[in-house]
Amino acid sequence: MSDTPAGVADVAGRTVAQRSGWSLVWFGVLTSGLGFWGSWPSWSGASVLAPLLVLAGIAGTAAAWTADRPSSRSMQLSAAGAAFVAVGIPQAVGIHARRYYTTDSAAFNQVAARALLHGRNPYTTSLRAVAALLHPAWQYWTYTVNGGHVTQMSYPAGSFLLQVPAMLLGFHHEIADWTDLVAWLVTGALLFVMVPATLRWLSLLVLLMPIFVGTFSNGGTDALFLPFLVVAVWRWDRYGTGPGAGSAGWIGPVALGLACAIKQTPWFCVPFLVAGVFFECRADGRDPWRVTGRYLAVMVGTFAVVNLPFVVWSPGAWLHGTLLPLTQPLVADGQGLVTVALHGLTGGVHLTLLTVAGALVFVALVAAFLLWYRRLKPVWLFLVPAVLFFPARSLSSYLVDLFPAALVAALTVAAARVPAVPAVRPAPSANGVPADTPSPERSARGRWAPRAVVAVPLLAALAVTVAAFASPPLQLSVDGFRTADGTQQLTAVRVTVRNLTDRAITPHFAVDLGSSHPSGFWTPPGGGPPLVLGPGGSATVTLRPPGFTWAPLHGAHWLVEAYSASPDALSTSKLQTWTLGTP
């Protein structure tokens, strides 16, 4: 008698994988219903929808293992409908009940769109008014190393133009979050129709992933470029191949231009797609320069259509704002390599050098793509986040938000082809050996030369990274602190800071108590002029928080940070441990 479980005896391999995948989708629907249960104070309908989602998840999981065809059209559509309801309605209720944004980027988009509708240039208008949309504002600003924070539009124009239609229709509450949620649902729909039918359960799993659902309905503005980037990389290797390719033959550069016109992250994809189109044309015997030139022209033209009015309106303001995330010295933040400095393990880091390291890794990745195109063609987009892992701003969104597009690219491109080369047999020499047969030395050079092209920038990135962490400009030590409300509130921290460089430095202090985002600079009581430390100088200062600050939990680690410009660097104290109200 067979030991194969019931429901699996008639299948093996692919069908089992499909049943497993669809059951995970239904389990995601079930868990979404459980999470939605607590939303009944915001919407009474949650008391009905939440248990229905739970019941649907249970029934769907069972159906995935008992249906004759787990990937039939009816099964796919029912799972898709449940997944979109499980994502869309709970997040819509959350947005409706929310009064404040949780990122300044979302608030910037709404205020910039409002300024445009009032006839003002978003790139020359101060966006300080977004403070009214953040609570408290000091916990959500994007801070600069010189002690300030960003108060101007810092994205291409598409980021706020997408909010304009909703405002024209009379909507004004949390417009950016609504737009982001719609963009994520559209992305989910695109994933569902673009991936192979046998893998559509995978697209719904991505749609249901909490890291995307929670972010893209709660201030995560990267959702805006995702639908366009997904289209841009869908069958991108069919561009210019004629009517047989359908929309894939022309839509890629249009969608890429729109994605680049919304945020800067898609810019990193441009070299790979342009080079890939070139290689594909060469393999097909088409004119690679003409087709690739047309691809690039359409992409740049689409970007210009969105942004050109603002370039003409104020060229300097548009350029400064659009390039701000790449050129402005912002404080360190994120889950990338800079974490070891943020958590006090290195004493600090030179922020500019981390940016240089990231640029070198990008050069290495592009070189690897050019040299080993056949192997990297389907997976290059999975590797792009490695570039964003190195800079001082390596937010979690930079590291995960390209995944849906990378999945579409990997599943929809064809295998890379080698350009046709005439089969000409080399002429034999007098001893019968072909005259142009490479020597072992030449063969070795041929193998190692491309590896060196990639290895050199990688090794340079490693060296720059080591140098970045080797010599923070300031030395900090925590001398004491003050609390209130029975040690529940932290009201002041006293720190001694020493300048280790041969130039004057103006430090700006922050205290990291384990928050997930920089929450403002701490200043001396009464304000006054900023502290200036001469070469080798030191000072002891008492710092007060920008707002009410809870003391750390018992046993928690915390530290003091100091940011400086010229050099743009972060310096930190040693880790402190909070024990029964004392460090």
Query: What DSSP character marks residue 478?
Result: E
| C-alpha 206, offset from chain centre | 15
Range name among 101-105, 481-485, 515-519 with the lowest pLDDT average: 515-519
Q: Is 343 helix (H, G, I), strand (E, B) or coil?
A: coil
Q: Is 146 helix (H, G, I), strand (E, B) or coil?
A: coil
Whether 463 contacts 361, CB under 8 Å: no
pLDDT confidence band for 443 (50 / 70 / 90): low
| C-alpha 386, offset from chain centre | 11
Percent of the chain with pLDDT over 70: 92
Per-residue pLDDT reduced to its tens digit, 297-317: 999 999 999 999 999 999 999
Between CA 80 and CA 200 the distance in angstroms is 9
pLDDT confidence of residue 582: 54
Query: What DSSP character marks residue 569?
Result: E
Residues 6+ apart with CB under 8 A from 365: 380, 383, 384, 386, 387
For residue 441, is pLDDT > 70?
no
Q: Give the phi and the psi of residue 502 in degrees, each rounded to 5.
A: -100, 20
pLDDT confidence of residue 471: 87
Q: Is 143 helix (H, G, I), strand (E, B) or coil?
A: strand
HSE (side-chain half, CA atoms, 13 Å) at 225 = 30
For residue 20, is pLDDT > 70?
yes
pLDDT confidence of residue 71: 86
Between CA 197 and CA 204 the distance in angstroms is 12
Q: Which helix (H) or strand (E) covers residue 411, if one does?
A: helix 403-412
Per-residue pLDDT reduced to its tens digit, 375-434: 999 999 999 999 999 999 999 999 999 999 999 999 999 988 765 444 444 455 555 555
Instruction: Give me the numbers of helices (H) and strands (E) for the chain, helices first please.
Output: 21, 10
- The CA-based dihedral angle spanning residues 407, 411, 414, 416, taken in that order and rounded to the nearest 10 degrees: 50
Residues 6+ apart with CB under 8 A from 436: 426
Per-residue pLDDT reduced to its tens digit, 61-90: 999 999 988 889 999 999 999 999 999 999
Q: Is 162 helix (H, G, I), strand (E, B) or coil?
A: coil
Which has the higher per-residue pLDDT, 582 or 568?
568
Per-residue pLDDT reduced to its tens digit, 136-175: 999 999 999 999 999 999 999 999 999 999 999 999 999 9
Per-residue pLDDT reduced to its tens digit, 176-231: 999 999 999 999 999 999 999 999 999 999 999 999 999 999 999 999 999 999 99
Q: Describe the crossing of helices 251-260 and 226-233 by its angle, rounded to 10 degrees.
A: 150
Residue 18's CB is within 10 A of a number of other CB atoms, namely: 20
Specify the residue for token string 């720190």.
495
Mean pLDDT of 95-118: 96
- The pairing of strands 508-512 and 489-499 is unpaired
Residues 6+ apart with CB under 8 A from 533: 474, 497, 498, 499, 504, 505, 506, 507, 539
pLDDT confidence of residue 424: 41
Residues 6+ apart with CB under 8 A from 258: 158, 225, 228, 302, 303, 306
pLDDT confidence of residue 353: 96
Query: In whole angstroms, how far apart are CA 459 and each of 275, 454, 456?
Result: 24, 9, 5
Q: Which helix (H) or strand (E) covers residue 436, if one does?
A: none
For residue 15, is pLDDT > 70?
yes
Classify each residue of 340-353 as buried b or exposed e, where b means 16 or more C-beta atoms within 10 Å of its C-beta. ebbebebbbbbbbb
Residues in the chain, how many?
Answer: 583
Angle at 489 between CA 487 and CA 490, to 5 degrees: 95
Query: In whole angstroms, how far apart are CA 283 and each of 168, 238, 403, 419, 421?
Result: 48, 12, 28, 4, 10
Write the DSSP string, 321-334. Answer: HHHHHHHS-BPPEE
pLDDT confidence of residue 370: 95
Between CA 180 and CA 222 the distance in angstroms is 8
- The whole-model pTM stands at 0.91
Per-residue pLDDT reduced to its tens digit, 276-286: 999 999 999 99
For residue 241, is pLDDT > 70?
yes
Between CA 342 and CA 339 the distance in angstroms is 5
Answer CATH for 474-577 from 3.60.10.10, 3.30.365.10, 2.40.30.10, 2.60.40.10: 2.60.40.10
